[in-house]
Structure 1
């Protein structure tokens, strides 16, 4: 899967070189975590109940789009419990032995965070079942008739799994989580609060109007909001007086090709290809990806979620379709065959 490697400025996937900057801005406690009030309250009850009983809390599954705070919440769970944290990802666990090595190295009560857990290899996933339920793993030694299963005890731990594609999780895996929380996109007002907090940490002077301008183009995603803030800060320090107001924010985001809706170069390329090359669609995902010079996974996971939510693109059984809003956003007049009403529903059907 190539989505995390997309180079779009406003992609909600974290680039490796930005890890340090993002770590600085992460809240460390539930009380510092902005928005997601329902999930935050539920987690608070889960953790405090477990601490009163003196036992590790139930396993936790967090779902939602990239950049909404799943990794941050896993770190907060570890901090609130006062235990160790191990970080890994589904694609990194290729063999059951890889997972067994991680599990047997955990201390009592530790938190194990597995990002993109739906991409874990099936043998490793099956090994995880017994570890989650019975805190035991069976390591198979040898092959064929002479193979032997050696049971190994695992210290009681809490698994925090994160996924952007909850529908791809198997039933047995989902059933083993005691708590399932879904993270929603942030409202602009919530992003403004987050931006002022991040500005204080970064030492950036941001006016309320400047924060409003950045929040409105952040696609409801904290990671994107913080990323845009850092880019606007660069612009303000080099080409202005260092203060991020509405005028500076607009000028900076224009330089970085982020338009009024938060669309970047790749988003607009998808819409232009749909409208100009394919007459608004329908067109298959693979064909659309070739037209914009990107991998299908990148288009599907980086671009489409926001374009669908913004009412600019619809996924139909026949393929991707540009809505009337997409035509108008590009400055084109939508043809009579395109409905001027609400965007078509998001139909997650297989591509023809």
Structure 2
């Protein structure tokens, strides 16, 4: 389990983590769409997936194996559940780290019924022996079970029912070539636009019974880092504020006041993001600085800074990774209310008229 996966939502920087929090899984399950038509965003992926599933239904065969890749919190698990629901099949769920031995995978595969959907989350972390067994299962619907040890070991072929494997990964580059090539359809999930996140929020508010005004939805969506999981989490925190300190309706002023309490600024940066930028700019003069040194300066683990903070700061154009270390861009200096030094990364190049 990633360290980020084990955090709790304590409102101190964790509220904007795209990783799932164990205590909120039940709420997430309630908010998940059940059908492809209810899934908001990812229009291209939805269209492609609809064709794959409809074609398989008309032929009366299980669809090709599906690989879903992209950052955490964008709906990969929801899509896996939707695939099973659209096919009217049972869904078997496991994760890459749980499949440490080939025998673990063989036991799961042997229990599949024809047409079942097997969902492996974090498939890039599957153990090598299990991955090699998966090759044969995906292609020929067969596994070879080794019985005994040493010279007397024998391999027994075991037929398994035709199934559809749905793999999810946040690091598609970590997948081996042979495994990636065995997927018939690969979908890459993109970050959501503010308009799409507003649709997600309106749907979630209706399910949760929250009175969400359009201006309040727009404010929350703009601070959600393009991630539905974060948007839903912020909606629940703003709902708490609205019920305790306002009349229960989530309006623009209520949303702004609530997100200020939870240290989420107008660009979607939280306490930890600003601490990283502050250390990089004020302590290290804008960099370059190594990730371990930067993590020590903010009192966090390097993996936390690298996996939770960096992706959004890089995407927001405030931090750059260079061979020498992390560097703050001009946008980072301006966001902190500071004037960047000359020739800071991201500043416009001087022209002849400036000379």
1:169-213 per-position Cα deviation (integer Å, ceiling 9, x unaligned): 100000000000001000001111111111111100011000000
Q: Secondary structure of 2:30's partner?
A: helix
**More displaced stretch, 1-10 vs 98-107:** 1-10
Aligned to 2:6: 5
Aligned to 1:214: 220
Contact 2:5 2:22 in 1 (8 A): no
| CA positional deviation for 1:6 | 4.3
Q: How does 1:123-138 map to 2 (within 5 A)?
A: 123-138=129-144
Distance 1:202 1:89 in 2: 29
1:30-54 per-position Cα deviation (integer Å, ceiling 9, x unaligned): 0001110000000000000001111
Q: How does 1:302-313 map to 2 (within 5 A)?
A: 302-313=308-319
Aligned to 1:349: none
Which of 55, 65, 90 does residue 96 from structure 2 map onto?
Answer: 90
Aligned to 2:37: 31
Which of 146, 150, 170 does residue 164 from structure 1 map onto?
Answer: 170
Aligned to 1:200: 206
Contact 1:6 1:298 in 2 (8 A): no
Q: Secondary structure of 1:335's partner?
A: coil
| CA positional deviation for 1:340 | 4.2
| CA positional deviation for 1:139 | 1.6
Q: After the TM superposition, list the runs of 4 or more consecutive aligned residues in structure 1 that deviate by more than 6 angstroms.
A: none
1:287-329 per-position Cα deviation (integer Å, ceiling 9, x unaligned): 2222222222222221111111100111111111111111111
Is 1:264 the counterpart of 2:265? The answer is no
Aligned-residue Cα RMSD (Å) equals: 1.2
Aligned to 1:121: 127
Aligned to 2:240: 234
Aligned to 1:144: 150
Contact 1:2 1:295 in 2 (8 A): no
Structure 2 unaligned spans of 5+: 9-13, 349-355
Q: Please, what TM-score do these two structures have when normalized by structure 1?
A: 0.95
Structure 1 unaligned spans of 5+: 343-352
Is 1:71 the counterpart of 2:77? The answer is yes
Distance 1:90 1:59 in 2: 16
Is 1:21 the counterpart of 2:33? The answer is no
Aligned to 2:188: 182
Contact 1:218 1:225 in 2 (8 A): yes
Q: Secondary structure of 1:9's partner?
A: helix
| CA positional deviation for 1:92 | 1.2
Distance 1:6 1:290 in 2: 19
Is 1:62 the counterpart of 2:63? The answer is no
Distance 1:296 1:147 in 2: 45
Task: Note closer, same or farther for the CA distance 1:134–1:258 as it changes in structure 2 (3 Å cut).
Answer: same
Distance 1:293 1:106 in 2: 46
| CA positional deviation for 1:220 | 0.3
Aligned to 2:111: 105
Q: Please, what TM-score do these two structures have when normalized by structure 2?
A: 0.94
| CA positional deviation for 1:259 | 0.8
Distance 1:289 1:279 in 2: 16
1:208-261 per-position Cα deviation (integer Å, ceiling 9, x unaligned): 000000000000000000000000000000000000000000000011111111
| CA positional deviation for 1:126 | 0.6
Task: Note closer, same or farther for the CA distance 1:145–1:70 as it changes in structure 2 (3 Å cut).
Answer: same
Contact 2:328 2:345 in 1 (8 A): no
The number of residues matched between the two structures is: 342
Aligned to 2:353: none
